[in-house]
Amino acid sequence: MSILERVKAALPALPPAEQRVAKLLLSDPRSFANLPVSELADRSHVSKPTVVRFCRSVGYDGLADFKLKLAGSVNEGVPFVHRAVDEDDKPGDLIVKVVDNAVAALLHYRNDAASHAFERAITALTEAAQQGKRIEFYGVGNSGIVAQDAQHKFFRLGVHTIACSDGHVQLMSATMLSAGDCAVVISNSGRSRDLLDAAEIARKKGATTIIITASGSPLAQLGQAPGQVLLAVDHPEDYDRYSPMVSRLLHLMAVDILTTGVALRLGQQLRPMLQEIKRNLRSKRYAA
């Protein structure tokens, strides 16, 4: 039995505090193997002795022994390329590994996604759409591309929506928000200063901020404030070490869930417009 399998098997029997350490490990084994005990304790919301007790509870001498064996059992992949592949992989290997890694991440997210958080987010977005309020999407870098995709999906629903990837524009735009508006903030790391500032301003202006990011990050903490919504997206892809691949797919999936939920809430009156859009787009095709 591998280390991760052993931890999964032991999880139900662990005390609640040690379960939090175990869940942190299972969400990102590579980071767990490299982070200091103080950071592991902070991310798990436990004390440093609890982290050590967890390692002993699952059969190891302590944290040092556990991390040494964990590092030896977890594949490092190719740094800055992809966590699931090796340097000498053939194209056939790449197909299997990249696809399997993405599918595993999506299935994990399906099982862990908080339906009550999506319920609150869909309700806030639907009410904003019905009342003619603004829906804005903020992201920088790769997350800025996801924000553009979200805006592209939502504007077809007939709502007032924009996407901002420039930090200065995000601050100006967030300043003009008001009660009833929604700001959807997307970040892989949850540590971008631009997005933290924009989210805080949007919250102070009375808008509902919907945060799509990793749980435990500074941005996620803003999403847990009263009246705000956190859609936690956790995955084992270290944002400091690998290109954003799985994280991008998960963020796009979260956007698709929100788009579908809002479209269903808006009801039958929306569908003639969507049908007309499709009909008009057919005239732009040049081949039968």
- Looking at residue 207, what DSSP letter applies? P
Closest listed residue to residue 182, CA positions, set 128, 242, 115, 140: 128
- The Cα 44–Cα 66 span in angstroms is 17
Q: Which residue has the tokens 């869930």?
A: 257
- The Cα 119–Cα 117 span in angstroms is 5
CB 173 within 8 A of CB 195: no
Residues 6+ apart with CB under 8 A from 13: none
- Where b means 16+ CB within 10 Å and e means fewer, 54-69 reads bbebbebeebeebbeb
Distances 265 to 177, 227, 260 between C-alpha atoms, Å: 23, 20, 9
Residues 6+ apart with CB under 8 A from 246: 101, 102, 105, 235, 236, 237
- The Cα 215–Cα 92 span in angstroms is 34
> What confidence score (pLDDT) does residue 23 get?
92
Distances 202 to 35, 175, 184, 284 between C-alpha atoms, Å: 33, 7, 10, 39
> What confidence score (pLDDT) does residue 15 get?
94
- The Cα 205–Cα 174 span in angstroms is 8
CB 11 within 8 A of CB 45: no
Return the CATH architecture of domain 1-74.
Orthogonal Bundle (1.10)
Q: Which residue has the tokens 């139900």?
A: 12
- The Cα 63–Cα 201 span in angstroms is 41
Return the CATH architecture of domain 114-280.
3-Layer(aba) Sandwich (3.40)
> What confidence score (pLDDT) does residue 78 get?
63
Residues of the chain with pLDDT under 70: 1, 72-81, 83-84, 236-243, 287-288
* β-sheet bridge partners, residue 183: 136, 209
- The CATH 3.40.50.10490 domain(s) of the chain lie at 114-280
- The CATH 1.10.10.10 domain(s) of the chain lie at 1-74
